[in-house]
Structure 1
Amino acid sequence: MSAADVIGQVTGREPSERAIIKVAQSTPSVVHPGSIYTKPADAEHPNSGMGTSVADIPTLLAHYGVDAVITDEDHATATGVATGMAALEQYLGSGHAVIVSINAEMIWGQPVEETDSAGNPRSDHAVVVTGVDTENGIVHLNDSGTPTGRDEQIPMETFVEAWATSHDFMAVTT
């Protein structure tokens, strides 16, 4: 879970996935009725639930003493918290931890299954961006959705397309 990774980066104590899910299951959501964590609909398929809404990430991080704000293209002007590649690079360069919402299938090179009503790819996964190598066009991620996700290196063009599915949503530590 991306929140656990950020908690570990900021506090030096990364909770286990089981521990953070337990906290999320007992913490009220600010987005929808019930808890932050929505259990998978099918125990055999762990991705059959929505997990944690990205808008609940600051609430979950706050439980561990980590402050964060969220933004996307639709809210950046109103919140004053910029988004997009330039802002992402600035936040990382200033020492902030950043979680973004992307379409997982796009970065994994798989057929896109998660789509909106118009058939466009939909964001369905959160990852931690750990670096941007503009010279080589690579974005470095910590991705809990794949066993080889630590320092997963994605072509910048692919990342930008996958991130656009969330309107460049990000949660930035403060």
Structure 2
Amino acid sequence: MPTLRLGRAARVAVLAACIGLAGAPLVAGCGAAPPATTAATASVTTSATKAVAAQDNPSSTTATPGRYGNPAAAARYWAAQSLEDNCGLVSVADVVGEITGTAPSERQMLDLAESTPSGTNPGPIYAPRNDPSHSGPNAGIELADLVVLLDHFGIKSEMVSATEPDRTGLPALEQYLAKNRKIIAFVNSSVILNADDQRTKADHFLVVTGIDTDTQIVHLNDPGIDHADEQVGVATFMTAWETSDQSIVVTAAPI
């Protein structure tokens, strides 16, 4: 599927409508996508095999004091979302790419999510593309289903929030990144973009790829904008992240 380059106004509309945490409704509208193919399924299965090997043999990274993660390496797996409510799917694809070296396409993720039962709700993780729910309050996917999708690729992960304060917060993110663990954060998109929209509820998934404590910058692979390695100040990121009680999905430590 061609990558969509969005202007600022369109990006704001996409981000503000994107993804909801379990029990948190939001509004989104979607377009059509191509049907599933056998080739897409085969490619997804191959990625799962690679993930097991990659987690058993993690690539080494050079540690630099005050810098965590490798945003330059992660940037190659960024992709833009082309629908209003599939940033969670594209973020999962990004993480799969970072771990296995091969990211599934947006189309492959749509096919997978439409055919995989949700771990929290009746029906599939992502509603069929002609389903009216894509323009209603239940559009997108649940945070818990990111774990289900990653598991399909052989990648173990877990949800963490401020209910476990020793496992979240900026210091925890730094340590996850230092250990080559991948992070999908649930944030408020308007705060990230400094846009004029609601700023009290989380509505968007993105991948945290690096933190630089010297410059106070957080590096993001954000599927709702038109480039990889978006950089925002720590204060901005924390404000956006607090709207979800610092909810993340983080992959297991490489063996």
TM-score per shorter chain, which class?
A: 0.7 to 0.9
CA distance in 2, matches of 1:147, 1:42: 26
Larger Rg belongs to: 2
User: Structure 2 residue aligned with 1:129, among 188, 195, 208?
Assistant: 208
CA distance in 2, matches of 1:111, 1:164: 18
Counterparts of 1:142-161 in structure 2 under 5 Å?
142-148=221-227, 150-161=228-239
Identity level (%):
40
Aligned pair 1:99/2:184, yes or no?
yes
**In the TM superposition, what whole-angstrom CA distance separates every residue of 1:8-63 from its partner, at most 9, and x where no partner exists?**
001111000111111011111112111111457487x7x97632211111100111
Higher helix share: 2
Q: Are the equivalent residues in 1 in contact too, given 2:126–2:140 (CA < 8 A)? A: yes
Counterparts of 1:77-96 in structure 2 under 5 Å?
82-96=167-181
Q: Supply the AA of the counterpart residue of 1:156.
A: V
Q: Supply the AA of the counterpart residue of 1:21.
A: L
Q: Are the equivalent residues in 2 in contact too, given 1:112–1:121 (CA < 8 A)? A: no
Q: Supply the AA of the counterpart residue of 2:167.
A: A
CA distance in 2, matches of 1:48, 1:146: 22
Higher strand share: 1
| Residue ranges of structure 1 left out of the alignment (5+ in a row) | 114-119
C-alpha root-mean-square deviation of aligned residues, in Å? 2.1
Q: Supply the AA of the counterpart residue of 1:111.
A: D
Q: Are the equivalent residues in 2 in contact too, given 1:41–1:49 (CA < 8 A)? A: no
User: Structure 1 residue aligned with 2:153, among 64, 82, 90?
Assistant: 64
CA distance in 2, matches of 1:48, 1:151: 30
1:11 is matched with: 100
Q: Supply the AA of the counterpart residue of 1:31.
A: T
SS in 2 for 1:100: strand
Cα drift, residue 142 of structure 1:
0.2
CA distance in 1, matches of 2:154, 2:178: 22
Cα drift, residue 132 of structure 1:
0.5
2:119 is matched with: 30
Aligned length: 161
What is the TM-score of this pair, normalised by structure 2?
0.59
What is the TM-score of this pair, normalised by structure 1?
0.85
Cα drift, residue 103 of structure 1:
0.6
CA distance in 1, matches of 2:151, 2:214: 35
Cα drift, residue 109 of structure 1:
1.1
